[in-house]
Amino acid sequence: MSLNIRHDVPLAQCGTFQLGGPCQTLYDCKTEAEVLQAVRELRETNTPWLLIGGGSNILFSDHGFTGTLIRYWRDDSDINFAGPETDRLIEVSGSTPLDALAKWTCEAGLAGLECTTGIPGAVGGAVAGNAGAWGQQIGDRVVTVRVVDPAGTVTQLTRDELDFAYRDSMLKRSDLILLSAQLQLDTGDRSDLLAERERILALRAEKHPNLETHPCIGSIFRNIEPTSAAGRRQAAGWFLEESGAKGCYVGGAELFSKHANIIVKGQGCTAQDVHDLCAKLQALVHEKQELELRREVRFLGSFAGSDVTDRFF
């Protein structure tokens, strides 16, 4: 099999923020077989690598990335029933766009994932980060996953072994790539599910940016945990608004007018602008609310004023 290996690829083409400098080497993989081959080839040459998916939760540095990335992403979908259709158990590739999965299940009359409608990114990242909305998350539906480690060994893990929590799982903190996931769904009415999908899309359009006109990477900060001074989990955007964050900007990075927890790309925006606005917002909420906002998005590469570069798979 011949892999799609590219060099000096603009990372602005690999994420929804449309920011970032060149990546030295990018393995562009759509299928499980391609990922396995890439991991095993890189192991043979002792080449370190990092994984990305749809790039909907990553801020790429203006300086790019000096190293190797494996991109596990496809524009279409790879979804099948894992047994008889009546069992409502499906298997989906980690490279499948999450919204494509939501649409497929609604059209198939399968309930349980309509909450993920309109959420960008790949299924692999969604499972690792336990993505969700409206009080539900994809981890609730996971039965098993197939993963590969940096040595190229494939393993199957159960839902209990994944240790799901709010926007978190053990996958998020590991060196494993999610190849595919089996999800257990419920029987639903196709018409009702498609109507619910349209309702959610309309709600998201009211509150979230259109990525074509306002590139972004979604909510910047995690909601406030129950164990914090907030007393219960509350939207980070509320604390940002209460702290006077609306209207804040740094260079071309600015807060979205309809959502205080989303930074959008304005004219002349750089990744460094976004990084600096994040720090400014964290300092503001700390001063006004005595709360520490934690980033939900990840940074990749070097940024002035920060020693932290997230390592993720």
Active site residues: 167, 219, 296
Using the structure block, give the residue that is written with the tokens 């702290």.
Answer: 243
Cα separation of 208 and 203, whole Å?
A: 8
**Alpha helices (H) along the chain:** 32-44, 98-107, 123-128, 159-162, 190-207, 236-242, 271-289
d(CA 78, CA 94): 9
Cα–Cα distance for residue pair 302/300, rounded to 1 Å: 7
* DSSP state string for 207-237: HS--TTTS-EEEE-BPPBPTTSTTSS-B-HH
Is 178 in contact with 200 (CB distance < 8 Å)? Answer: no
**Nearest Cα to 113, choosing from 172, 97, 295?**
97
Cα separation, 223 vs 139, whole angstroms: 18
For residue 46, count other CB atoms closer than 10 A to its CB.
6
For residue 90, give both structure tokens: 């499906």
Structure tokens at 45: 């040459």
Element (H, E) at 136: strand 136-137
**CA pair distance 190, 147, nearest whole angstrom:** 32
